[in-house]
Structure 1
Amino acid sequence: MVDIATRVHNHKWKIDPIVRSLIDTDFYKLLMCQSVFRNKPDTTVTFSLINRSKHIRLAEMIDEGELREQLDHVRSLRLTRGESTWLRGNTFYGKRQMFRPDFMEWFEGLQLPPYHLEKRDGQYELTFEGSWPEVMLWEIPALAILMELRSRAVLNTMGRFELKVLYARAMTKLWEKVERLRPLEGLKIADFGTRRRHSYLWQDWCVQAMTEGLGDKFSGTSNCLIAMKRDLEAVGTNAHELPMVYSALAETDDALRQAPYDVLADWQEEHDGNLRIILPDTYGTRGFLDRAPDWLAGWTGIRIDSGDPATWAEVAIDWWKSRGEDPSKKLIIFSDGLDVDKIVELHAQFADRVRISFGWGTLLTNDFRGLTENDALAPFSLVCKAISANGHPTVKLSDNPNKAMGPADEVARYKRVFGVGEQVGMEVVV
């Protein structure tokens, strides 16, 4: 096992690049990329970094030259033979050859496209523009780089013994969480923490701790590189990006209203079983489910990623019942800002009513809260989102208005089209 404190104290980035592989990314990005490669390959999309935690002034903490060096390093990466063999030959979700030969040939020749970087008012403006299948693969590396450079900026002020103590405390903190989760009967929990991790080495350590501490209750990791290295399940399905871009391409209100279902119709052509998971909250869960075609009720489950999770789990259960489905055979995946208290609470509330699983993200792989002076390593909310498609702005409404994004006039239009009324805002921690 790597001595992380010593590695941090001695590290040079060429030995420890922040992103060390094109598959140091989330599994769902590759699944979505294959779908986009098949269905919307000529769409031009712009992604942009968005720091929701404005008090974290990244451009004042992170050296621009070092940031460019790390971004340039990602552009130098190519899929290795071993990585290609793993993707081509492995079984994912019980399916062999998950990734089609034409997609793999394209991926094996991929170089990530150029980026545009500026400083403005203490923040970095980082954008990526190009064909959707290429540009979308910048999201996870870009976030991981910014998050880890911020961590390194703080760690660089610490001495060797201080680093040893810091990581000892962080390890103890995580292990105490594992011990609290261990008694939960039937628990299924996965690592979803790549995008806002403290560092690659720390995410890898967290995954090893979860593997040893929880055994079969730990169902895998969203990080493809770590899944390959540690012989674990790579987990993940789809995200808000798909309906956001499909909706931006809609030319009429009727087409806009239909766009989120067009996404899932395309998805259904490629996937079955546990990959048929509905993410309903992009433009409001209740309206999405009320208008959903009956064929969606037959899907395996629903992922809840905004708003009050218990409230929306109840809505999902009621919806299944209204469509003649047995909720006890359905899967609910909770994935929004989870930590142990909420996991324990939700497990107690729903484990005997539906199949449940947890995607544990930032507060698994980046919980250094309370471990440094002025809480300098506390996690913060950084995202990288598609902001336009073929020149049209994207919109996300969410079940939490504090997560909404898009131009005000377009947000108003989407609320009208999707029938979204008053919403209750919740704090966005990560």
Structure 2
Amino acid sequence: MPAAARLSFTCARETIISNMNINFAERAHNHNWKLDPIVRSLLDTDFYKLLMLQFIWKNFPATRVTSEVHNRTVSVRLADRISASALRDQLEHVRGLRLRRSELVWLTGNTFYGTKQIFEPAFLHWLEHDFKLSDYEVTEHEGQLVIRFSGLWSEVTMWEVYALAIVSEMKTRAALATLNELELDVLYARAKTRLWDKIELLRGVPGLRLSDFGTRRRHSFLWQEYCVQALSRALGPNLTGTSNTALAYKLDLEAIGTNAHELPMAMAALASQGSDEDLRASQYKVLELWARSYDNELLITLPDTFGTTQFLAGAPDWVAQWTGQRIDSKDPFIAGDEYIAWLVSRGQDPKRKRLIASDGLDASTIVDLHAYFNGRIRFSAGWGTLLTNDFRDCHPRGEDTFQPISLVCKLTSADGIPTVKLSDNPSKATGPANLIDRYRRVFGSPVLEELPVLV
């Protein structure tokens, strides 16, 4: 890079970073964490959880479910790092939170995806007066924390992001407690430098569309806020928003999100007591219900719950009229090409459709994907864990205690019936083995090659 360009980038970095006066080292060194709850607002969740909560409230008010937090990075023994008692304190704190009047006013009057009053008045009234979070259980098994939520679906669903963010930040806090103030300075200096190196890759890429998807496995809320502010100031309109509703509210950004695997998993379980055809059709029934509540940019399919290829092959023609598709477990280059070819076969113009990649992305892959799909389809990226929790090799003593881990919270039953997720990556499959076998037969989803799951 020419010297003048390097100077320009250096000045830009110093301007952006110096304007965000968070002394992470001092906060970590001096805070009494017991007085510093991790989740401080019910809005501190991904926006799609609120959209799904309204959907569940409307369509499945009596359905009871169970969900569980699972650490796919089994080499990290969370029970050795996180106190079960302290975890219960954090979960109990969230159970006591209520939406503030200003937050409800924002949800009521804000324009989301170009639509006013995306949340129905009756739903907002219920959210203010009747919403509550379910009971939970915290136990330990083979070095892992077992966190289980059971109750009405409308009481369980919101736990997902709260629980994952809490566990992730408690792991962070345990590691921070082992460092002195100088070591904390080194840790965050390295992480800030890494963040800026990524921002440099993204700056000036024409037509880039990027959103923050990093809530659930973040290093901390403060670090996520710092990352989002840095991106906003460096990328301007190329940062299209954040999935974190609290940050969208606080920073006046677009709240980004649609739906998740939880919906087709539950619908399939409820249909599985009927015929194989009922089970197979359930993945499209959930889309029919979704379209009764939402439209336009919220009509995004997530086809990999039981396998993308079979989903596209059997989809009714009206599915091709939806706005786009999110890729979550397949090679995004391959999945994007597959979607484009499918759109063309259904008489649709791919240039009018949205393609969202969101699985384990980092800056370099985002740039490559944008270049590959630019001009062919409206590509956008959801940047998650490797935006808000990339402290790999930043530890001042070379330890791995800040490495991000793959935490998930998945539905395990609906009305007492076990749930299944096949995924395009068998490493992400969940459910009893005998039911996985049945689902593979019914949906026609072969066992594909397992790919490593980083986050």
TM-score (norm 1): 0.99
Structure 1 residue 288: Cα displacement = 0.3
Alignment of 1:235 onto 2:260 = no
Q: Relative to structure 2, which stretch is displaced further, 36-45 or 111-120?
A: 111-120
Q: Relative to structure 2, which stretch is displaced further, 355-364 or 115-124?
A: 115-124
Q: Relative to structure 2, which stretch is displaced further, 107-116 or 323-332?
A: 107-116
Alignment of 1:220 onto 2:245 = no
Question: Who is 2:377 aligned against?
Answer: 354
Alignment of 1:276 onto 2:299 = yes
- Correspondences of 1:252-331 after superposition (within 5 Å): 252=274, 253-331=276-354
**Contact 1:19–1:141 (CA<8 Å) still a contact in 2?**
yes
| Separation in 1, partners of 2:165, 2:31 | 17
| Separation in 1, partners of 2:279, 2:361 | 31
Question: Who is 2:127 aligned against?
Answer: 107
**Cα RMSD over matched residues?**
0.9
Q: Of residues 46, 58, 63 in structure 2, which corresponds to 1:38?
A: 58
Q: Deviations over 1:139-178 (max 9, x none)?
A: 0010001000001111000011111121111111111101
The 3-state SS of whatever aligns with 1:270 is coil
| Separation in 2, partners of 1:187, 1:16 | 37
| Separation in 2, partners of 1:72, 1:414 | 37
Q: Deviations over 1:215-241 (max 9, x none)?
A: 010000000001100000000000100
Q: Deviations over 1:265-301 (max 9, x none)?
A: 0111111111110110000001001110111101111
Q: Deviations over 1:323-343 (max 9, x none)?
A: 000111111000000001211
Alignment of 1:169 onto 2:186 = no
Question: Who is 1:84 aligned against?
Answer: 104
| Separation in 1, partners of 2:224, 2:106 | 21
Alignment of 1:365 onto 2:365 = no
Question: Who is 2:432 aligned against?
Answer: 407
Question: Who is 2:399 aligned against?
Answer: 374
Structure 1 residue 15: Cα displacement = 4.3
| Separation in 1, partners of 2:447, 2:357 | 23
| Separation in 2, partners of 1:290, 1:128 | 35
Alignment of 1:418 onto 2:443 = yes
| Separation in 2, partners of 1:280, 1:101 | 31
Structure 1 residue 424: Cα displacement = 1.7
**Contact 1:77–1:111 (CA<8 Å) still a contact in 2?**
no
Q: How many residues align?
A: 430
Question: Who is 1:210 aligned against?
Answer: 231
| Separation in 1, partners of 2:139, 2:282 | 33
Structure 1 residue 14: Cα displacement = 4.8
Question: Who is 1:28 aligned against?
Answer: 48
The 3-state SS of whatever aligns with 1:356 is strand
Give the letter aligned to residue 404 of structure 1.
A
Q: Deviations over 1:62-102 (max 9, x none)?
A: 11221111111111101111111111111100111111111
Question: Who is 2:16 aligned against?
Answer: none
TM-score (norm 2): 0.93
Give the letter aligned to residue 180 of structure 2.
G
The 3-state SS of whatever aligns with 1:318 is helix
Q: Of residues 91, 94, 97 in structure 1, which corresponds to 2:117?
A: 97
Q: Relative to structure 2, which stretch is displaced further, 91-100 or 161-170?
A: 161-170
Alignment of 1:333 onto 2:356 = yes
| Separation in 2, partners of 1:366, 1:413 | 37
Question: Who is 1:428 aligned against?
Answer: 453
| Separation in 2, partners of 1:119, 1:306 | 29
**Contact 1:28–1:222 (CA<8 Å) still a contact in 2?**
yes
Q: Relative to structure 2, which stretch is displaced further, 414-423 or 102-111?
A: 102-111
Alignment of 1:383 onto 2:408 = yes
**Contact 1:304–1:312 (CA<8 Å) still a contact in 2?**
yes
| Separation in 1, partners of 2:305, 2:235 | 32
| Separation in 1, partners of 2:304, 2:38 | 32
Structure 1 residue 201: Cα displacement = 0.4
Give the letter aligned to residue 123 of structure 2.
F
Question: Who is 2:4 aligned against?
Answer: none
The 4+ residue runs of structure 1 with deviation greater than 2 A are 13-16
The 3-state SS of whatever aligns with 1:386 is strand
Q: Which runs of 5+ in 2 are unaligned?
A: 1-20
| Separation in 2, partners of 1:422, 1:67 | 37
Question: Who is 1:50 aligned against?
Answer: 70
Question: Who is 2:179 aligned against?
Answer: 158
**Contact 2:176–2:184 (CA<8 Å) still a contact in 1?**
yes
The 3-state SS of whatever aligns with 1:333 is strand
Q: Of residues 132, 140, 143 in structure 1, which corresponds to 2:161?
A: 140
Question: Who is 2:85 aligned against?
Answer: 65
Give the letter aligned to residue 405 of structure 2.
F
Question: Who is 2:206 aligned against?
Answer: 185
**Contact 1:128–1:135 (CA<8 Å) still a contact in 2?**
yes
The 3-state SS of whatever aligns with 1:128 is strand
The 3-state SS of whatever aligns with 1:375 is coil
Q: Deviations over 1:167-210 (max 9, x none)?
A: 11111111110110113110000000000000000000000000
The 3-state SS of whatever aligns with 1:324 is coil
The 3-state SS of whatever aligns with 1:257 is helix
Question: Who is 1:201 aligned against?
Answer: 222
| Separation in 2, partners of 1:85, 1:177 | 36
Question: Who is 2:95 aligned against?
Answer: 75
**Contact 2:201–2:364 (CA<8 Å) still a contact in 1?**
no
Give % identity: 55
